[in-house]
Amino acid sequence: MATTGFKDYYATLGVSKLATADEIKQAFRRLARKHHPDVNPGDKSAEAKFKEINEAYEVLSDSDKRRKYDQYGQYWDRMGSSSGAPGGAGFDPNSVDFSQYGSFDDFVNELLGRFGNTPGAQGYSYRGARSTSPGGFNDFSGYRDPAAGAGQDLESALSLTLAEAFHGVERRFSLGNETLSVRIPAGVKTGSRIRVKEKGQINPVSRRRGDLYLVVELKPHSFFKFEGDNLTCELPITPDEAVLGAAVEVPTLDGSVTMNIPANVRSGQTLRLRGKGWRTASGERSDQMVRLMIVPPPALSDSEHQLYEQLRSIRSSDPRSSLKQMRL
Q: Is the pTM of this model over 0.75?
A: no
Q: What is the pLDDT of residues 220-234, one digit of tens each?
A: 999 999 998 899 999
Q: In the structure, how many helices (H) and strands (E) does the chain have? A: 9, 13
Break the chain into its structural domains and give their ranges.
130-219, 225-303
Residue of higher predicted confidence among 150 and 244: 244
Least confident of 28-42, 92-106, 260-274: 92-106
20 Cβ contact list (under 8 Å, min separation 6): 174
Q: Is 160:219 a contact under the CB 8 Å cutoff?
A: yes
Q: Is 146:104 a contact under the CB 8 Å cutoff?
A: yes
Rounded Cα gap, residues 17 and 60, in angstroms: 10
Residue 95 pLDDT greater than 60, yes or no: no
CATH placement of domain 225-303: 2.60.260.20
Residue of higher predicted confidence among 298 and 127: 298
Residue 146 pLDDT greater than 80, yes or no: no
Q: Is 16:135 a contact under the CB 8 Å cutoff?
A: yes
Cα radius of gyration (the chain):
31
Mean pLDDT, the chain, as a whole number? 79
Region 32-45: mean pLDDT is 83
Please choose, from the candidates 157, 188, 151, 186, the residue with its C-alpha nearest in 3D space to the C-alpha of residue 169: 186
Domains 130-219 and 225-303 share a fold: yes
Rounded Cα gap, residues 39 and 30, in angstroms: 13
Give the fold, CATH level 3, of 130-219: HSP40/DNAj peptide-binding domain (2.60.260)
Rounded Cα gap, residues 135 and 27, in angstroms: 12
Region 125-143: mean pLDDT is 35
Helix (H) or strand (E) holding 172: strand 169-175
Residue 174 pLDDT greater than 90, yes or no: no
Q: What percent of the chain has pLDDT above 90? A: 41
Q: Is 261:237 a contact under the CB 8 Å cutoff?
A: yes
